Structure 1
Amino acid sequence: MKRVVITSVGAVTPVGLDAESMWQNVKQGKHGFAPISSFDTSRLKVKNAAEIRNWDPVAMGLNKKEARRMDRYTQFAMAAAKQLIDSAGDLSGIDPYRAGVIVGSGIGGFQSTVTEHAKFLEKGPDRVSVFLIPMMICNMAAGQIAIEYKFRGDNFAPVTACATSAHAIGEAFRKIKDGYLDLCITGGSEGSINEFAVAGFQNMGALTESQDCDRLCIPFDKERSGFVMSEGAGLLLLEEYEHAKARGAQILGEIVGYGATDDAHHITGPDPEGDGAAHAMLHAIREAGIEPGEVGYINAHGTSTPLNEQCETAAIKRAFGEHAYKLAVSSTKSVTGHMLGAAGGVEAIITMKALEEGVLPPTVGYKVPDELCDLDYVTEGARKTEIKYALSNSLGFGGHNASLLLKKFEG
């Protein structure tokens, strides 16, 4: 089996329009929560989100004409991909048919769907954009990236709600590990903060209605009341180790395990016993051939919903036994918000950075302990500590669980 390393990353988030600035803000606990500015919230109970404000795709390096034909989520993905390619080193000698793109989105072009549907109702069918279909479908970010950079290998878009980009990364990992690809751009993108989407999440009770932005997203805190919608993209370039060495690529980290399961329990609620999520973590650990006690940190799914943290804590205890109380767990959604289908990509980058620098990112805003959430959630601020292995968990509506095991790169 091949070794799979990370040789470049790209990120577009509300707390930084590149991976490094995002990481600095995550470490410092500088969240991106504020009153929604992109539409009138007077009809909604939910007033706050983590938006990418004053988004300008041209300033991010996209062609103006092409950007107008892309939904917001595809623009985010293309901007992240450009960062990734620009920092990847010399790719001129790669075999394009062994270069893949596996990039997903939980919802796809929701902004375009809402905009064009309103136009349809007001002005009739002839006024609907000829680009609506390619703008709205979930696979178009993957397709556009491949077109731009001529990656002709495997190209598809997993869709598993909030586990989407973790599954994308896991599938790319397997493609390279098993010898089908030499390298792959992978992760996810999301751009769905609009009145219609917020109304849907609000009415199902998923979003917090708090008005205090410093207590808006408070994972593992007893007063948590729902997640905060966010948007953006997180992409990684995964590469076979010898291929990366041969072209002189910088190696940032390594992926050594991937676990994927389903709760088979409920369309939105997690399994209260945490059995499915526990098995996802254990599958990733077993694939790497290590013991659970070697894992030092978990970047939790940690959405700040009452059920998620209770069930995820139970899953960690089920997977790790007594070691659960010795490892560190944090939720960086307390800074970034919940980026839905992009969350796993962004959090994999954060987990890679934590291993690379020996710094565990904090869970921000935590004040009130919950007796059902009694692990070490790194609530005192970023923690300097050297670790070798870390997990990144992503859990999605439909019971989808994905767990990625990353290793500090040691050559």
Structure 2
Amino acid sequence: MSEIDGESAGGGADAAPRISVIVPTYNRAEDLRLTLESLCAQTLPVDRYEVVVADDGSRDETRSVVESFAGRLRCKYHFQKDLGAQAGPVRDNGVTRVRNAGARLATAPLLVFLDCATLAGPDLLAAHLRAHTPPAVPGRAVAGYVYGYPPRKTDDPDYRCPPGLAEAVRTLTPQQVADRYRDEPGFRDPRHGEFEKVGFDLRNRIFPEELFWSSNCSVPAADFWAVGGFDEDFRGWGLDDVDLGYRLVRNGTAIHLSLDAWAIESPHERDGAVNLAGFHRNARSFFDKYQFAEPPLELGWLVMQSPGGPALATLETLNRQVADWTHQCAGLTVAAELAHAFEPIAPDERVAVFGAGAVVPAVTQSCVLADFDRQVVDRLLADGAGARHDVRHNLGIQTALPDKAVDTVVITSRLDGLWSAFGSAILAEAHRIGTRVSVLTANRRHG
């Protein structure tokens, strides 16, 4: 049954769909037509999936386009008022809100999110379904490959949009376009290099959420709603999908990659300034939301502040540095140096320790105990340190503590192996939250 606003609009199959495809859109009727045409040409039988077009207040022919596919697709249409137009001269779109609305109309156990103007490869839905079907391990979200997505290195001639791509996606099938341009560097998914580094297995990546993009992805409906769907506080472009991935992973859903579930992003105009503004606004919301709850978030914030802006390779490289040092200093306790450091500190002072280690000396002060090793933090909590102290999984780059929250910050030698990379950032944070800073190591007696 194809439906428009929940009412029959023709069509036919009675079988329950296995996949619900959610396509958000706004005033892009012709781009939407291309996307729906590609969904008509799937290898998966049409009675196995439904398409939910979630319209964020379009004023063009979007509804008519959806209606024109009655009988070819099992299609539903959701329309919501364009609230973005009320946000000022720059439209602050509600893509998270409209995606969630589309997902609420979905009836299948598996949700596939596909952007408008993204053309599905012929095996996209079958590949997403295979990735979630036994013997596939349950509890996974799948990132699909996206050809033609606008590259970030627009100043690099090797990464520019291939000539003729815009015309090709309108005159050729997705398979023909992929066959023609697959070897062009500018046509590859901009995540390709990062996929390649981990052997195209995202389980080998420390922070796979960074590569989970809603332009082409799938997640079981139960897992999606278990974490609340997309966070509708995110407005405009960017990071709402990474935020979803972050919550999924912490709820036990692993992120996998499917090269077979590929799609092509059709070239179209973008307002780079508006997108960048939305990205930075959402980044602030993202980091505020999680209060820098672990080192990858601290490092993400550091990358965001870099003069060149965020880059996919940078965050994983920094995460790998921390992971390597964590392995090297496993078992290193700093109880003796902490006991010495606490001798001149008055019993009523507030103290924060960066690199606390798993063995903390008996002290009268109630402390913030931060360490970058999750196992160390877990051991501190298991040993009861959380009853007297504020135990945190932090490196010390960002702690979310207020300015001058403590009297003294103690930085231990557990941070020695990370000092060349992050020392200045850690010191800056220590001086922000503390009145005094004590750095405990033979080769950097300063603070």
Normalising to structure 1: TM-score of the pair? 0.31
TM-score calculated relative to the size of structure 2: 0.29
